[in-house]
Structure 1
Amino acid sequence: MPEREPDAEEAVSAPAPGAEDDAPVANPEPSPLEPRTWREIGADLLRPGRSQVVLAVILLLCGLGVTMQITAQRDQRYSTLRQDELVAMLDDVTGETRRLESDIATLERTRDQLATGADADAVARAEAHRRLDALELLGGTVPARGPGIRITISDPQGKLTPEILLNAVEELRDAGAEVLAVGDVRLVASSAFTVSTTGVLQVDGHAVARPLVIWAMGDRDTLAEATRFRGGLVSTIEGDRVGGSVVVTKLDTMDINATVIPKPMRFGRPV
């Protein structure tokens, strides 16, 4: 008898010979990574791979390079100074240390007097008046008298710039200047050196008279030495950049009568 032909459904669904071997097999679910034990981590550290060794060498070289660069910059800062400049710098540091130690001793003595309770009110009032006097001097609202230096700057070529004056004032403040004035203008925290549209050097909007005079009140020797550093006020003014001259005069007593009127507060109010 003739064989029966398969139906259409059987022909479509019937797998071809060998089709089971060629059919793609679905990938099994990836197994989660098992946590590594400290023993395995220690073994990896004791037997690092090649990439780990290369990375460690690169990091070591980078660290050495940064350290050598910082050390070289630090050494160059002082290697170019003369012996007298190093001595002056040491004197400034010593003087600043003594001032800070004196301030610490004064504050500790005031604290002890306030803590004992005997005449605490009188001590508190005296301390408040002392702080008020210091703030008035810093704010420039009262005249001042004391020792200091007078700096006279001659600028025949007119090359004196606000940046040079600002650097000079910052050097004097770093050296311990408590009261500063340029000519008849008192310098405070908000003071500014500018140049007008006509090229005139100004301090807080006031034209600077020539020769320019800076008054600095504080320790005379320390302030005078602060102007003589290499790259400081004297070397800058007398160098090719300005081509002027500087005369520093030490004074036992000088008066700075210039004051400023504080601006009224717009937003802040005492509570």
Structure 2
Amino acid sequence: MVEGGDRRAGSGTDTRERELPEHVTTPLLTLITTRSMDEDYAHVARKRAAAGEAPAVRTRPHWASLVAVVVLGVMAAVVAAQTDREAEVNELSRAALVERIEVQSDRLGDLQRTVAELTSANQDVASNSTTVQGQLDGIAARVDRAELNTGFAAVRGPGVRITVSNRENTDVDNEIRDEDLATLVDGLWAAGAEAVAINDQRINALGGIRNTGRAVHVNGRPVLAPYVVQAIGDTRSLQARLLQTSQGRTWFLLVDGLDLLYSAENVENMRLPAAPGPSLRDVIELNADPEGVPEGEGSAP
């Protein structure tokens, strides 16, 4: 019964919903619009009936509608014309933008090529710099060796220190002279000495030992007794080999004959200064003219 009662209740509800009037089920906005137009038409019809006029039959659009249509057409035409103009402007803008992009792309390509060229040039310069630096290092090493060999660089190493002097009240004729010291130095060179100095004056090809009166000059500078002769070389054989040279034997004969004070000792580490560099007066470059001016300087092209 309960179920039957529910069905009857449901049927009653469906019946009531089907019996609702139209103004209840019609949407509000549609209802308002429809009723307003119907009431307007009814009002106009009542007025015409009261006046004894026949109902109006609309045979052509109202002038307001025509105006509205014309206005809408004009607006559509304006919008279309404006759209066409904007389309042309947009097309021109697009073309200009594309042209700018192409120009900038070309410029970017040029810059990239320039960067590549500069990078390659920089690498070439770096490679050349490395090569030149290697050459400079080789030249510097050669200069160092040349300075060592010619005496224009200070040196250090083991060697022999010889001290020689006159005895007191020695006759002038028996004093040590420049040729005596030169004999000792020549003997040391022959025995294998690599560098020689007298009283801290380095001996080399441009220097010399000279007598001026009774004074001995080395490299043009006076030196006084006792004369300290230092020679860098092999301490195990330098003194023995000095006795084997003809200059060495002559030197020791002078020591005995002049009764000189003589002593020699091996030194594990001694330092010899560089020889002074005198100015060259008669030597010119191979690529210079006889006037001493290098080729390409001070001459007309």
**CA radius of gyration, larger in:** 2
Greater per-residue helix proportion: 2
